[in-house]
Amino acid sequence: MAEEDLKSVVAWLRSDRFPVQPAKQEAPEVEYSFFSKLLSHTILKPGEYPQQILQTPDSTDQVAFGRYIADGVADCYSCHSSDFLDQDKLHPERSKGYYGGGNKLNGEGGKPIFTANLTFDEETGIGKKYTKSQFIRAVKFGVRPDGSILRQPMSPHPTLSDYEVGAIYEYLKTIPKLKNDIAGKYAELQLATK
């Protein structure tokens, strides 16, 4: 996130707004499992900090602003890439399967689902499936072009403005198209579980 946005978050956390008011109750002690401790001492390491202060891009440059909102604010790429373990937080575009989807998540009832391909690949991505206004409606309200509701864990983002989501759409049009047949992954999963 840009420096100014981080300052805004800190100001909100220090405010007297209801969601962030201090509680009189002490937080319980955190007890980490053996596996969590093992990961934190072997694989999971603190990331690098940016070497320079990040600035909010000019909001009139929809592509740059969309990239900032998608990667820096909403963290869309982390789910809509192909592997949670192969991501670059400082350079998201270097993440494996950047916006090509395919990360396996648990949906309602614990059923496995795969994240959508948000590249503009016309067969497996959103290229022919979403207009800009349909994409805005899907992201803000969780409604697909056919009127059906997006599956959990994708939740609506009503606090993003139409302009911000529209800028994300414009940015997604600029990234390399990836062919990733998510529907085919569902079919393979169905066959494997029978």
pLDDT tens figures, 126-183: 988 999 999 999 999 999 999 999 988 889 999 999 999 999 999 999 999 999 888 7
Contact of 167 with 66, CB cutoff 8 Å:
yes
First to last CA, the chain: 45
Instruction: Please give the radius of gyration of the chain, using alpha carbons only, rounded to the nearest integer.
Output: 19
Q: Which of 68, 47, 48 is nearest to 57 (CA)?
A: 68
Cα 185 from Cα 162, distance rounded (Å) = 32
Residues 6+ apart with CB under 8 A from 107: 113, 151, 152, 153
Q: Is the pLDDT of residue 89 over 90?
A: no
pLDDT of residue 194: 60
Condensed to tens digits (0 to 9), the pLDDT of residues 36-69 reads 888 888 877 777 777 888 888 999 999 999 999 9
pLDDT of residue 108: 83
pLDDT of residue 187: 67
Cα 126 from Cα 183, distance rounded (Å) = 13
Backbone angles phi, psi at 133, to 5 degrees: -65, -35
pTM of the model: 0.81
Residues of the chain above pLDDT 70, percent: 96
Count the neighbouring beta carbons within 10 Å of the beta carbon of residue 151.
14
Strand, coil or helix: 40: helix
Q: Is the pLDDT of residue 184 over 80?
A: no
Instruction: Specify the CATH number of the domain 58-193.
Output: 1.10.760
pLDDT of residue 50: 75
Question: Which of 90-104, 117-131, 177-191 has the weakest average pLDDT?
Answer: 177-191
Count the helices and strands in the chain (H runs, E runs).
7, 2
Residues 6+ apart with CB under 8 A from 161: none
Residues of the chain above pLDDT 90, percent: 49
Domain ranges for the chain, please list them.
58-193
